[in-house]
Amino acid sequence: MSSEEQEYAHINPIIDELTKVQLEAIQIFNTRKIKTPVAILFADMTNSSGQNYHLRDDAWRNIIIHNEYCRSRIEECGGAVIKYIGDGVMGRFDLCDGVNIDSVLNAAKGIMKVIYDTALFETKIGISICQPGEAINIAHGTETKNTGLKSSKIDLIGSPVDLAARLTDMAKPGQILVTKAVYDIVATTYQGGNNAYVLNGPVERRIKGPENIENIYELSWQQAHLALNLRGIDTSTSINTLHELQNEMKATRDDIRNIINEHFTILKKLNDNDIVDILPPLSNPESATIVNINNYLSTYLRSSGMKTIRAYGIALRKLFHQGSVLSTTLLENKEAFKINRDIDIKAIILDPNSEAARMRSLIEGAVLYNNQNIDRSCIVKNDILASIDNVKIIAEHFNEDQFSIKTCYYLPPMWFLMTHERLFFEQYHIGRTEDKPHYQCLGGTVPVIITGKTSPWYKYFKNHFNFLWGLDNNTELNKIFNVRKIEPEIRV
């Protein structure tokens, strides 16, 4: 052995071992010419390295979530995950046995949509096609019947794989880039333009490797419907412009999320206060508010069990005028109610001879108001007297503990109807709007609020009613409020 051979003798075993590894690799990877098209899909999470540095555990969690989303959509659409490369996923679709180009594009769009909705991170996707007869290196697993490739437990190496990976590198966050081969399959499949996808392009890009120039298309995934007419766009409409549009859409999405959060906060407050609904003002001619209230009353009065109603207002004409749902239902079912003794109705209205009634009527435009002469313009007094006349008719058919109405000198600050489960109320306001020269009643122009029995309004109004109802038993205090049962002479 020469001196030179002795100097490098210790290196020979290393070279031998490297040669052995290379030979094993050659035996593992075999070149095959495939029989049917195979689509390669790469999905790569964006900015994960920056997240790894800044977020650490949260970033790794996001990578796991990203890869799981990708795997789920790929497998749901008939594909298989070949391997995970950190924050990237490589999938394959054998375009046979019911798996077609729709499967690939649906998987890509599905990945984008689910990741977009999470708003945790972004991804980008590249898709290429390995055509029949094209050579590709495969390793591991057993050969499948239709494609000549191995099972899902394989790795693929070759030009189509490199091309899909490079498209992914070129894509911006939120983009799906595909090769012309993918475009051609879509165009061939949907020659009539029906039930197809929007592929924007082509845009020429220089790519490293055997394909120096490649026509690239972008799959539009933010359409209202998945299946749309196939159309191209001028090369002047660049992918950069489309990406700018996507950023605007993302900003809009953030605004929408903020609005939803604000609405959620409001809804939580409504729920905490047991607010069931808010109806339009009663005076609105297009409003169905009184219809909703009447429907509720009709159903409630025909339900089983005790029916408890408390009402408070100026005239309560929507409850006690002739022809109203409440009065009609009571009169039509008077015998059943009297026998079953399952109603308890009490109401307080404004005394028509009170100073409050006179002032309220003048505010609403009355030109004459006294006890002896009732002018047609005295809307308030006429409404109250019409209610009283009908109340007397109803009261003839019921015991006092079933149906009883009182009047009060105190001007009601609201109109409300209360049962054992619901409260409907409308606030009264007296003032002047900008378009009115004089003061007026603003009642009927504010929303009607419906609450459940646990709301603070329900408890407050119930206590308010019970206080007024019991005042006729308190001689001193009742000198102010003058609460009394309706008597025949009240008409005088």
Do 231 and 378 fall into the same domain? no
Do 186 and 302 fall into the same domain? no
Nearest Cα neighbor of 314 from 246, 363, 265, 266 is: 363
Do 179 and 283 fall into the same domain? no
Other C-beta atoms lying within 10 Å of the C-beta of residue 110 = 19
Lowest mean pLDDT among 163-177, 202-216, 471-485: 202-216
Single residue among 184, 215, 237 that ends a domain in this structure:
237
Nearest Cα neighbor of 309 from 417, 208, 184, 227 is: 417
Do 229 and 282 fall into the same domain? no
Do 219 and 295 fall into the same domain? no
Classify residue 446: in a domain, yes or no. yes
Single residue among 218, 237, 256 that ends a domain in this structure:
237
Give Cα 115 distance to the centre of its chain: 18
Do 284 and 352 fall into the same domain? yes
Classify residue 259: in a domain, yes or no. no
pLDDT at residue 424, rounded to an integer: 94
Which one-letter amino acid corresponds to residue 48?
A: S
Rank 22-26, 91-95, 116-120, 358-362 by mean pLDDT and report only the highest: 91-95
Number of folded domains in the chain? 2
Lowest mean pLDDT among 208-212, 218-222, 410-414: 208-212
Question: d(Cα 374, Cα 413) in Å, to the nearest integer?
Answer: 24
Three-state secondary-structure class, residue 92:
strand
Given CA atoms 103, 109, 112, 113 in this order, what sign does their dihedral have? negative
Per-residue tokens: 389:
């006349």
Do 429 and 485 fall into the same domain? yes
Question: d(Cα 56, Cα 192) in Å, to the nearest integer?
Answer: 50
Classify residue 449: in a domain, yes or no. yes
pLDDT at residue 135, rounded to an integer: 63
Q: What is the CATH number of the domain that holds 191?
A: 3.30.70.1230
Classify residue 185: in a domain, yes or no. yes
Do 188 and 294 fall into the same domain? no
Q: Over the stretch 387-396, which tens digit does the pLDDT of each residue have?
A: 999 999 888 8
Q: What is the CATH number of the domain that holds 291?
A: 3.30.870
Q: Which run of H or E residues covers position 255?
A: helix 239-272
Domain range enclosing 80? 25-237
Classify residue 270: in a domain, yes or no. no
Classify residue 247: in a domain, yes or no. no
The mean pLDDT of the chain is: 75
Question: d(Cα 224, Cα 238) in Å, to the nearest integer?
Answer: 22
Do 224 and 325 fall into the same domain? no
pLDDT at residue 438, rounded to an integer: 57
- How far is it between the farthest Cα atoms of the chain? 143
Q: Over the stretch 47-81, which tens digit does the pLDDT of each residue have?
A: 765 544 444 556 677 888 888 889 999 999 999 99
Question: d(Cα 483, Cα 408) in Å, to the nearest integer?
Answer: 4
Q: Over the stretch 431-455, which tens digit does the pLDDT of each residue have?
A: 666 665 555 556 667 888 999 999 9
Per-residue tokens: 428:
């009264």
pLDDT at residue 487, rounded to an integer: 62
The residue whose two tokens read 């019991």 is: 470
CB 177 within 8 A of CB 125: yes
Classify residue 483: in a domain, yes or no. yes
What is the pLDDT averaged over residues 134-156? 53
Whether residue 184 is predicted with pLDDT greater than 50 in this model: the reply is yes
Do 298 and 196 fall into the same domain? no
| DSSP symbols for 187-229 | HHHTTT-SSB--EEEEEEEE-SSS-SEEEEEEE----SSS-B-
Per-residue tokens: 346:
């009490």
Do 196 and 297 fall into the same domain? no
Per-residue tokens: 258:
């903020």
pLDDT at residue 360, rounded to an integer: 76
Do 212 and 299 fall into the same domain? no
Three-state secondary-structure class, residue 295:
helix
| DSSP symbols for 410-465 | SPPSEEEEE-SSEEEEEE--EE--TT-SS-EE-TTSS-EEEEETTSHHHHHHHHHH
Quickly state the pLDDT bin for 301 (edges 50, 70, 90).
confident
Single residue among 237, 262, 297 that ends a domain in this structure:
237
Whether residue 146 is predicted with pLDDT greater than 70 in this model: the reply is no
Classify residue 6: in a domain, yes or no. no
pLDDT at residue 51, rounded to an integer: 47
CB 69 within 8 A of CB 16: no
* Cβ-based neighbours of 310, under 8 Å, separated by 6 or more: 346, 347, 416, 417, 418, 419, 462, 465
Quickly state the pLDDT bin for 43 (edges 50, 70, 90).
very high
Three-state secondary-structure class, residue 142:
coil
Which one-letter amino acid corresponds to residue 273?
A: N
